[in-house]
Amino acid sequence: MSNHASSVGQSKSGQRFALVALTSLFFMWGFITSLNDILIPHLKSVFSLNYTQAMLIQMCFFGAYFLVSVPAGNLVKKVGFQRGLGIGLMIAAAGCLLFIGAAKVQTYWVFLTALFVLASGITILQVAANPLVTIMGPEDTASSRLTMTQAFNSLGTTVAPIIGSILIFSATVEFASKAQEAESVIVPYFGLAIVLVILALIFTRISLPTPDLEKDSQAIGNTQSSLMEYRHLVLGAVAIFMYVGAEVSIGSFLVNYFGLEHIANMPESEAAHYIAYYWGGAMVGRFAGAVLMQKIAAGKLLAFNSIAAAALIALSISSDGELAMWSILLVGLCNSIMFPTIFSLALKGLGVNTSRGSGLLCLAIVGGAIVPVMQGGLADNIGLQISFALPVLCYLYIAYYGLMGSKIRN
């Protein structure tokens, strides 16, 4: 009896450590993703790009999710969650190292290539880590658990703009040439490569639980059925597309938006610091949301936050000055619980199809590639401020998913 109790204790202790290790990955890919918000205005200036051209950064980064997610799902299924994490970390590190070459040759498309490779590694990490978190405990608290780990993802997105603006924008003030400005990205991305390699080595040595999805008694189906049969999964993929598209698009334009004369008239180096408030709101909201969702239905909370986000953007579009600035920043707080809630609601009851379902949801992250470019086109043609009407439409769909689309139908 004592031996059994000891093994159970070790199992729980090991699972806790595994969750902590996974949480560090959420922090890292949040940090890397948020750096794009600094990279966009920086490269826009270095290469004299318009808004649409600058948004190709997000298209290449999030386009990787579309191209790599399904192969990543198959890879994780073949090699397992732990090896999948190691492979993803090494590919992401390679992408960071490509930034050194991109800075030296000073060619925009090489930067885009580096971003694609980096994002490919992160895609594999997401495909492996997100479902692993959802099944490391009771299914009823999956949304709360994933929201908590996503809170540390938001910590990464909050810290990155501050560090990035110091290393990139502040450094370029003293530079005399575009070449030197381009090379200011070397230090942060080389540092990231080192950290990612260290994490890869760690994940080859720690003990991660191996989930047995075959025995998932809550599964709707226990065979390798078509993912299209799961209505709540398909609609959830659309919601992920809309959410990531809206969140990324807003963050991508904040520096330029705050630089508008009738909004805040801020220089890039100062405006970059305010991005931390946008992502910081998501971090605070996720910690609070992890607690709230113990008592409030996840779908209802998702709908409430979505409607609030749409209202805040509408307020920013119709106003100017500090009201316009702070109302758009508050959208970050509303974003807080959206991704983990949609993700866990969409994966609920998939059983043996969980890893494939996760691949489909990560594929939908391509919204971060498409929506920003669409908004960039609107900004070039009708103005930056009014272009924020596009994210409003995205949030209205997410509200529908929370109230109706997430309901499971056999």
Q: Which domain holds residue 110?
A: 8-208+220-405
DSSP 347: H
Q: Which residue, chain included where needed, has tokens 């890039």? A: 268
Q: Is residue 147 part of a domain?
A: yes
Report the alpha-carbon angle 32-34-39, nearest 5. 90
pLDDT in tens, 51-101: 999 999 999 998 887 888 778 878 888 888 888 889 999 999 999 999 999
What values do phi and psi take at 150, rounded to 5? -70, -25
pLDDT in tens, 210-266: 655 444 434 444 445 677 888 889 999 999 999 999 999 999 999 999 999 999 999
Domain count, the chain: 1
Q: Is residue 1 part of a domain?
A: no
Q: Is residue 31 part of a domain?
A: yes
Q: Is 190 helix (H, G, I), strand (E, B) or coil?
A: helix
Predicted confidence (pLDDT) at residue 408 exceeds the cutoff of 90: no
Mean pLDDT estimate for the chain: 83
Is 26 within 8 Å of 126 (Cβ atoms)?
A: no
What pLDDT score does 373 carry? 95
Predicted confidence (pLDDT) at residue 202 exceeds the cutoff of 50: yes
Q: Is residue 2 part of a domain?
A: no
Q: Is residue 215 part of a domain?
A: no
| CATH code of 345's domain | 1.20.1250.20
What pLDDT score does 190 carry? 92
Predicted confidence (pLDDT) at residue 175 exceeds the cutoff of 50: no
pTM beyond 0.85: no
Distance (Å, whole) CA 89 – CA 67:
18
Q: Is residue 244 part of a domain?
A: yes
Q: Which residue, chain included where needed, has tokens 């508008």? A: 260
Q: Is residue 364 part of a domain?
A: yes
Q: Is residue 125 part of a domain?
A: yes
